[in-house]
Amino acid sequence: MAIIQCSRCGNDISDLAKICPKCGKINFNYKKRGIILLCLVAITILVICIFYVVISQNYKKYRNSRIKDTIEKLETSFATASYKEIEDYIDVLDSLDYDTSEYEKRLIEKKQNDILAQYNNAYDNFNFEEMEVCIKNLDALNYDTSDMKAVLEYDKKNYKIAKEYRDAISNLYSKCRSYSYSSLRSEVNKVKSQTDSIKNAEVNLKSRVGKYINKIQKHVLFNAFNSQYLYSNQFDLDYGLTSSSYAIIIGDYLEEILKEEL
Ligand SMILES: [Zn+2]
């Protein structure tokens, strides 16, 4: 606060006084200060506004370019990169307030597809342990595995039956083709016992094993080969298990059945 003189009466007054307490004249100094203060406030607000606009426009530009850049990287990473890298890019988009729900969905689908490929690969080798692991991992991703579980349970029970049948057929086939008669009757009997298991096996058409068993059960030659006569001693007497014509005929039968892949 400073002391000034009233412009009318010369009285000492405070520069903060609105009017001269002696003559009542308005203190213009006070008014000026008010106006200056008001102007300062207005300028400050204006400067802040301008800063805000400039900064927010710059941020917008920065945000847009970062989003564009990150999306480009994300698209390529979906084809080649690790889940971690993809997740990191999604996090970047998240931090930029970008809606990432679509990418999160795609990442889950990618994980599911990768596991499904692994599952199919395991199924090609009938690796039930690995199939079980895959199903557990798919469960964790909320993938509906109820069919897969049913198939796995069925296969665990029936794969051995199908495999042993096919192996028995295959053994008998190679014996017939090489005209090695010595243990032909015992090989025929092995096929017969496996054949009975196949005949009585349930069918699950969602399973590869089930499809195989179904094809064999309906196979014309399976039923022909399955006739009791074939396994009887009478058959041995009529055709003789040591005759090459038997080997050729039965070999041809078996070759047809072997065309069905397990
Ligand atoms: Zn005065």
252 and 172 within one domain: yes
Confirm whether 175 is domain-assigned. Answer: yes
Ligand 1 centroid, distance to 27 Cα (angstroms)? 9
Higher-scoring residue by pLDDT: 250, 240: 250
Confirm whether 143 is domain-assigned. Answer: no
Sign of CA dihedral 173, 174, 179, 184: negative
Domain boundary among 66, 81, 99: 99
Instruction: Determine the Cα–Cα distance for residues 63 and 89; give it in Å rounded to an integer.
Output: 14
User: Strand, coil or helix: what is 14?
Assistant: strand
pTM beyond cutoff 0.85: no
pLDDT digits (tens, 9 = 90+) for 74-100: 999 998 889 999 999 999 999 999 999
Domain count for the chain, please give it: 2
Confirm whether 34 is domain-assigned. Answer: yes
Residue 130: pLDDT band with limits 50, 70, 90 = very high
87 and 172 within one domain: no
Confirm whether 7 is domain-assigned. Answer: yes
Confirm whether 242 is domain-assigned. Answer: yes
Considering only CA atoms, which of 167, 253, 249, 165 is closest in space to residue 214?
A: 165
Residue 174 identity: S
In the prediction, which pLDDT does 179 show? Answer: 76
Domain boundary among 99, 131, 150: 99
pLDDT digits (tens, 9 = 90+) for 135-181: 999 999 999 999 999 999 999 999 999 999 999 999 989 988 887 77
In the prediction, which pLDDT does 33 show? Answer: 74
Ligand 1 centroid, distance to 93 Cα (angstroms)? 69
pLDDT digits (tens, 9 = 90+) for 196-248: 889 899 999 999 999 999 999 888 677 666 666 667 776 676 666 666 777 78
- Report residues near ion ligand 1: CB below 5 Å: 6, 8-9, 11, 20, 22-23, 25
Ligand 1 centroid, distance to 39 Cα (angstroms)? 27
In the prediction, which pLDDT does 227 show? Answer: 66
Ligand 1 centroid, distance to 37 Cα (angstroms)? 24
**Residue numbers of the domain that contains 190:** 159-258
Higher-scoring residue by pLDDT: 229, 186: 186
In the prediction, which pLDDT does 170 show? Answer: 93
Confirm whether 50 is domain-assigned. Answer: yes
pLDDT digits (tens, 9 = 90+) for 13-57: 888 888 888 898 888 776 677 788 899 999 999 999 999 999 999
In the prediction, which pLDDT does 242 show? Answer: 64
In the prediction, which pLDDT does 180 show? Answer: 74
174 and 89 within one domain: no
Residue 8: pLDDT band with limits 50, 70, 90 = confident
Assign 3-state DSSP to the chain and report helix, strand, coil percentages, each to 5: 75, 5, 25
Ligand 1 centroid, distance to 128 Cα (angstroms)? 106
Ligand 1 centroid, distance to 19 Cα (angstroms)? 8
Confirm whether 154 is domain-assigned. Answer: no
End-to-end CA distance of the chain: 103
244 and 166 within one domain: yes
Span of 50-64, 101-115, 188-202 with lowest mean pLDDT = 188-202
Considering only CA atoms, which of 189, 117, 124 is closest in space to residue 159?
A: 124
Ligand 1 centroid, distance to 38 Cα (angstroms)? 26
94 and 184 within one domain: no
Ligand 1 centroid, distance to 1 Cα (angstroms)? 18
163 and 91 within one domain: no
Ligand 1 centroid, distance to 8 Cα (angstroms)? 5
Rounded mean pLDDT, 252-256 = 86
Ligand 1 centroid, distance to 14 Cα (angstroms)? 11
- Give 185's Cβ-side CA count (13 Å radius): 11
Ligand 1 centroid, distance to 23 Cα (angstroms)? 4
94 and 168 within one domain: no
Strand 12-14 versus strand 3-5 pairing type? antiparallel
Q: Are 191 and 170 in contact (CB under 8 A)?
A: no
In the prediction, which pLDDT does 188 show? Answer: 81
Confirm whether 144 is domain-assigned. Answer: no
In the prediction, which pLDDT does 239 show? Answer: 66
254 and 164 within one domain: yes
165 and 90 within one domain: no
Ligand 1 centroid, distance to 36 Cα (angstroms)? 23
Domain boundary among 57, 82, 99: 99
88 and 167 within one domain: no
